[in-house]
Structure 1
Amino acid sequence: MASVAINMDENSIRGDHIASSMIDSELHECVRQGNIDDFKSRVQTHSAENLVTPCGNTLLHVAVSYGSDKIIAYLTEECPSLITTQNSQKDTVLHLAAREGKDSYAIKSLVESNPSVLRMTNEKGNTPLHDAVIKGKKKLSIFLASTDPEVAYYNNKYGRSPLYLAVEKGNKKGILDDLLKSGASIPIKIEDGDALPKGKSPVHAAIERRDKDILVKIEKEKPELLRLSEKELGNSLHYASSIGFLEGVQFLLQKFQEGAYERDSEGNYPIHLACKSHSVDVVKEYLDKFPYPKEFLNNKGQNILHVAAENGKHRVVRYILAHQKSTLVKPLLNATDKDGNTPLHLAACYGQPLASFLLLLDNRVDRLIVNNKNSTPYDLAAEISRRAEEEYAKTDEMTAVERKQIDSKNSIPADEIKGKEADTNKIGGDYFGVVISLAILYFHACPKKSLFERFPVIKRPRPLRGEEMKSLLGNLLVAAVLVAGVTFAGAIQLPQLRDQRHELNSTSRNSSHENLLYGYLFLDLGALSTSLVAALMLLWATFNYPKFQIPAVVLSTAMVCLAIVMMFGAFFCSVKIALLGSHGGFLAVTIIVVAVMFFLYLASLVFPWIIPLSVNQILLQVVLHYYYYIYFFLFDYSKWWLTHKLYDLKTKFSCY
């Protein structure tokens, strides 16, 4: 009990201490009204340095927030330590003054009495000048920048300097003009090293805004800013090229042309980033300035056509291939990078069908050239497609728990993924683009090999696990029972079809009706019998030795497919019977043609079950190549062709 009493005493003492250090309401009211006489009489009974509000604001903070100049002057003289005191958000009194826009004589005197407050930062890393620029307080921003010009280049925790923020705000109220006219030189040395090069360049902010006027202002007042670079974005030309900012690129090539010869952190020149941006006008600007594109190779040994093809920038690919100076383009077409890959290799590997097709249309492109691994573009695309199928099969075979464990183990940081994107041993691009590119290469750049060499036979799939096999058996059993039910219902309709014969008068019609009736009976009973046998076989497999399940699944699947085809044949006979005596000749012909075509389609689906597995796989892959090739022309190429034709017509008429 004694210990409890002691704790209560300690808590009460601590509470009394906190209460005595808080600014009371009467003192707060004196500051708000600016009553200096009452404030002096009341503050003398307290320790002014220790008085705070709940959020840690001192009396000087409160006086600044209310603009009480007399009290500010008094506290600055009597308690100078309050000038640099920070509240719970690490704001000094000057931070509050900057956000409130207080630029009175008392505030200026405060700064002059202790200039170090200009460089103090709050929790966000903002100096008072940061806050003044963010809030658009022009007068105070001018005063702070003129008092300590170097602060204009200090970065906060987000890498933004007051100069960067002024650009980001679009030179609101002309604050940028005043900051640029400050006398500070760059780079500025501070305790942590160079301030601006480690942060965000104000030139990059102007480029992001696509504001050429701000670029002109910066170049006029601080031309050295154009040469600053960022780790992720490169120099100003890199960034302007990457976003396709044509006016910015033109201006920077005039004022900062040496930037075109610098590589970024990934080893690309600005002209390479222009090819990635899909901006043909920017690429044209570079080729006009530097008519020797073969000299610009990134750290992978790739030229501009490599980059455009790899990233699927088909507009850029089209422009380069159609360039009027063939001597300028020709060295790029079949050039190889460090891995021996040509632009066609990269377009095929990364699943860029339009870029692949445009390259294949150019007769100057070598379609059978091999890379360092002796692979043609077709071989490389086929290998990537095969690996994608294997990865899909592996993940499909895994249980949910196993897949989750693999995903957690294979989580790779983003910076590591960037370095692996160009590895052609990995699967590049999306799988759908890869298979379309492979189909295009199959028809235009396939080496002369036999079908078995082009399409190696895939091994038989491994046996399914217990639960998977049970699920498959159940699905097939449902299908077999459904077919049996439908065909049994069709057999019940047989008397009605037989009675229809008596309604026909013609002998030829009667003979046709008889033949169709027998055909209907044969197909319907065949489908019923086949589906019932399949159902019984599946039931037997469910309760018998597991080794019987695999042949049971294979046989029953083929039988169910055959039953479905026979069921449709019976339906076709019943339709023919219904059309006998009909006077709608065109309708009858249409129905018969559609039915025959659909029947042949069903038969083609059943046909692979009765041919060898190896032939079936090869046939399927050839058919898929035709499918994807037709799909490409119907959707991708036709849309691209129409878009560019309209663009060319628009350009042609705009010239007149």
Structure 2
Amino acid sequence: MDSQPSSTRFVACSASGDIDMFYYDRFREKEEGISNHIVDNGSSVMLSMNPKLYRAVRSGDIELFRRLHLEDMDCADLEQQVPQGNTVLHIAAHSGNDPLVKCILQLCPDLIKSKNTNGNLPLHIAAAAGNLSTVEILVSADQQQSVSLREKDSNHDTALHLALQNRYEEVAFYLFEADQEVTHYMNGFFKSPLHIAAEAGYAELFKRMMEISAGSHDVPDEESKQRIIMAAIHGKNGGVLDVILEKWPSLVTPDNSCQINPLSLAAFTGYLEGVQKILEKSRHLAYLRHENGFFTIHQASKKGHIQIIQELLKHCPDSIELLNSKKQNILHVAAKYGKSKTVRYMLKNPEFEMLINKKDYKGNTPLHLASEKGHPEVVSDYIWDSRVNLQVLNIKGSTALDVVNNSVYPSYRKRLTWLILRYAGAPQGKNASIMKRHSRNYPDLGPYDNRINTFILVAILVATVAFAAGVTAPNNMTSSLVHNAMFHVFVITNTIAMYSSIIVVVALIWSQLSDFHLLRASLQFAVPVLGLALAMMSIAFTAGVFLIVRENAMLSIFVLVFASIGILTMLVLFTPLFLPSSLPHRILRYVFYYPVLLLIKVTR
């Protein structure tokens, strides 16, 4: 069992939405395992029922059931059980066959107290199946109603629990009115019917339960109240939340001792109506810091809930200046977690202008954080704003470009981020420039060997294919092909592919001389040329196949369309390798904006 303190596990589970597992773990710790009510008597023989009796009850054939009873079947025969411990009354209650239920109760009334291997009474089975009329019959037939209504199964669920869990509101309402004391009984997940009614959003039933609770001594403790309001917020049940805020106003007071801030939870889950309702009761919760160091507005920014940010600023305009435990504002948080729509909204709104170049406790601006996490769409939106200062340094003396360059093996999205910053003219920090000029500790060249060998292998394969295609073509050439445009395309692209791949092989041979700068220059030259060779080989193949099937219109169209899609996809993947590393003129940035935007969409 997890050795974490229960309070820490509770907060962690609430943030992840896995509250049920937290309380079930507690239940298992308390009970030391859940009994399945099966006695191990050393026998492998399972319980069984008379086949004719089972078929009669399962099919709901009451006439056959009566005939079997008249033939020679007493109450002891009716007490037979199927392997899961269900009696004939359990089976009839599940199917909702009221005439059969009444008949069984007349013949053997004691079956109403029988339990199956899960500890379920027939009343539990009927409630779980949502059979209201059957539930009414069973409750009326029970001489000790309160006992059956309060009886728990192996998971500590009463009939009311089961009706609510399976979302049968009418059945739940009836069972509640039959015995209101069950309202606060806890099951194995530490959930009471009151809690489950809040989850289900049954506002009328929940309100009625709350009215009964107010007049009794069995009032939920603060932890239970906290779980219930959390259930209402997670389920986005406005009617239930209204009742909670009316009956338990202490949950939203500034001095509440709850581990979870209801306003923060509503903001995190994107429950706008809940945020509005809680703010109307108390705006002070917006200024309470969560254990993760975030205020409510940071939680909304982290998840990209723009409308909730607007609502919070409407009631608490100065919350725009709140900083989390890392001295980060809401723009920092949105940029860090890649919420491009939220960043775009803040950049367009003059109200957030003062946040654009603010630094956190490490001196990072929102642009630094977006660059570090590899969010090219956020960085793209950011650098187009003229108010953004690309030269800002953090405490390490690094610009946003330096932060991206710290990655030894950058991901594709980080590569895009680096390109976007270079296009915008983002500079390197002084420390980075000095280290680049004077450092003698070059990185280990070993990790590059596999990459270079792969490039050489691909280049050789391209050269081999191009050579074979070029040698084979003259043998099959006819006079009509010499003047065909597609044949010209084939010859030109195949020639380019052949010599481009050879050039790549020669260039990469230079990278084997154990010089880091030479290796880097070789790769920067060879990779784009290899991309060109692959593209030309693809076009040459398309042209060759087209020449073969040119007499068949359908096949010709298929080859051209599918080849166009394949070549376009390949170019999209290779575009970052072909584009220039910097665009000093703003006009050129506009020209290359859309190719980069397409790459961002593809890699999102």
Q: So what's the TM-score if we normalise by structure 2?
A: 0.57
Matched, 1:145 2:176: yes
Pairwise CA distance, 1:253: 0.9
Question: CA separation in 1, counterparts of 2:72 and 2:205?
Answer: 41
Judge which range, 101-110 or 222-231, deviates more: 222-231
* Partner residue of 2:213 out of 183, 192, 196: 183
Tell me the residue number matched to 2:120. 91
Matched, 1:25 2:59: no
Contact residue 145 and residue 182 of structure 1 kept, 8 A: no
1:536-595 alpha-carbon deviations (Å, 9 max, x no partner): xx9xxxxxxxx9xxx9xx9xx99xx99x99xx9xxxxxxxxxxxxxxxxxxxxxxxxxxx
* Partner residue of 2:82 out of 32, 40, 53: 53
Amino acid in structure 2 at the alignment position of 1:387: V
Tell me the residue number matched to 2:159. 128
* Partner residue of 2:422 out of 418, 439, 447: 439
Contact residue 351 and residue 437 of structure 1 kept, 8 A: no
Question: CA separation in 2, counterparts of 1:187 and 1:301?
Answer: 45
Q: Secondary structure at the match of 1:55?
A: coil
Tell me the residue number matched to 2:593. 633
User: Relative to structure 1, is the Cα distance of residues 259 and 125 closer, same or farther in structure 2, using a 3 angstrom cutoff?
Assistant: farther
* Partner residue of 2:370 out of 336, 341, 347: 347
Number of residue equivalences: 465
Equivalent runs, 1:393-542 vs 2, <5 Å: 430-440=413-423, 443-447=425-429, 461-462=445-446, 479-480=462-463
Q: Secondary structure at the match of 1:633?
A: helix
Question: CA separation in 2, counterparts of 1:126 and 1:632?
Answer: 63
Question: CA separation in 2, counterparts of 1:43 and 1:481?
Answer: 88
Judge which range, 134-143 or 450-459, deviates more: 450-459
Contact residue 52 and residue 59 of structure 1 kept, 8 A: yes
Pairwise CA distance, 1:347: 1.8
Pairwise CA distance, 1:290: 1.7
Amino acid in structure 2 at the alignment position of 1:296: L
Amino acid in structure 2 at the alignment position of 1:55: Q
Tell me the residue number matched to 1:376. 399
1:268-311 alpha-carbon deviations (Å, 9 max, x no partner): 22211221333333212212222223652323332212111212
Pairwise CA distance, 1:92: 1.8
Contact residue 293 and residue 304 of structure 1 kept, 8 A: no
Pairwise CA distance, 1:87: 0.8
Contact residue 84 and residue 92 of structure 1 kept, 8 A: yes
Pairwise CA distance, 1:487: 7.2
User: Relative to structure 1, is the Cα distance of residues 87 and 311 closer, same or farther in structure 2, using a 3 angstrom cutoff?
Assistant: same
Question: CA separation in 1, counterparts of 2:451 and 2:318?
Answer: 63
Matched, 1:271 2:297: yes
Tell me the residue number matched to 2:580. 623
Question: CA separation in 2, counterparts of 1:445 and 1:163?
Answer: 60
Judge which range, 55-64 or 303-312, deviates more: 55-64
Pairwise CA distance, 1:333: 3.8
Tell me the residue number matched to 1:259. 285
User: Relative to structure 1, is the Cα distance of residues 106 and 473 closer, same or farther in structure 2, using a 3 angstrom cutoff?
Assistant: closer
Tell me the residue number matched to 1:101. 132
Q: Which runs of 5+ in 2 are unaligned?
A: 1-41, 480-494, 537-576
Amino acid in structure 2 at the alignment position of 1:341: N
Amino acid in structure 2 at the alignment position of 1:246: L
Equivalent runs, 1:311-326 vs 2, <5 Å: 311-325=337-351
Equivalent runs, 1:532-571 vs 2, <5 Å: none
Q: Secondary structure at the match of 2:125?
A: helix
Question: CA separation in 2, counterparts of 1:132 and 1:466?
Answer: 62
Question: CA separation in 2, counterparts of 1:307 and 1:635?
Answer: 28
Contact residue 156 and residue 186 of structure 2 kept, 8 A: yes
Contact residue 252 and residue 285 of structure 2 kept, 8 A: no
Pairwise CA distance, 1:315: 3.5
User: Relative to structure 1, is the Cα distance of residues 489 and 26 closer, same or farther in structure 2, using a 3 angstrom cutoff?
Assistant: closer
Tell me the residue number matched to 1:237. 263
Question: CA separation in 1, counterparts of 2:243 and 2:447?
Answer: 72
User: Relative to structure 1, is the Cα distance of residues 17 and 345 closer, same or farther in structure 2, using a 3 angstrom cutoff?
Assistant: closer
User: Relative to structure 1, is the Cα distance of residues 463 and 116 closer, same or farther in structure 2, using a 3 angstrom cutoff?
Assistant: closer
Contact residue 318 and residue 358 of structure 1 kept, 8 A: yes
Tell me the residue number matched to 1:309. 335
Contact residue 200 and residue 230 of structure 1 kept, 8 A: no
Amino acid in structure 1 at the alignment position of 2:393: V
Contact residue 153 and residue 196 of structure 1 kept, 8 A: no
Matched, 1:296 2:319: no
Judge which range, 58-67 or 28-37, deviates more: 28-37
1:59-96 alpha-carbon deviations (Å, 9 max, x no partner): 653575544447548856xx4xx655431343222212
Contact residue 130 and residue 161 of structure 1 kept, 8 A: yes
Contact residue 397 and residue 431 of structure 2 kept, 8 A: no
Question: CA separation in 1, counterparts of 2:446 and 2:54?
Answer: 85
* Partner residue of 2:144 out of 108, 113, 134: 113
Contact residue 22 and residue 53 of structure 1 kept, 8 A: no
Amino acid in structure 1 at the alignment position of 2:86: N
State the structure with more CA Rg. Answer: 1
User: Relative to structure 1, is the Cα distance of residues 161 and 478 closer, same or farther in structure 2, using a 3 angstrom cutoff?
Assistant: same
Q: Secondary structure at the match of 2:117?
A: coil
Equivalent runs, 1:223-234 vs 2, <5 Å: 234=260
Contact residue 351 and residue 436 of structure 1 kept, 8 A: no
Q: Secondary structure at the match of 1:388?
A: coil
Tell me the residue number matched to 1:203. 232
Amino acid in structure 2 at the alignment position of 1:146: E
Contact residue 155 and residue 199 of structure 1 kept, 8 A: no
User: Relative to structure 1, is the Cα distance of residues 25 and 57 closer, same or farther in structure 2, using a 3 angstrom cutoff?
Assistant: same
Tell me the residue number matched to 1:387. 408
Q: Which runs of 5+ in 1 are unaligned?
A: 1-12, 393-428, 497-523, 539-546, 569-619, 641-656
User: Relative to structure 1, is the Cα distance of residues 347 and 27 closer, same or farther in structure 2, using a 3 angstrom cutoff?
Assistant: closer
Contact residue 102 and residue 137 of structure 2 kept, 8 A: yes
Question: CA separation in 2, counterparts of 1:463 and 1:181?
Answer: 70
User: Relative to structure 1, is the Cα distance of residues 93 and 317 closer, same or farther in structure 2, using a 3 angstrom cutoff?
Assistant: same
Question: CA separation in 1, counterparts of 2:207 and 2:123?
Answer: 23
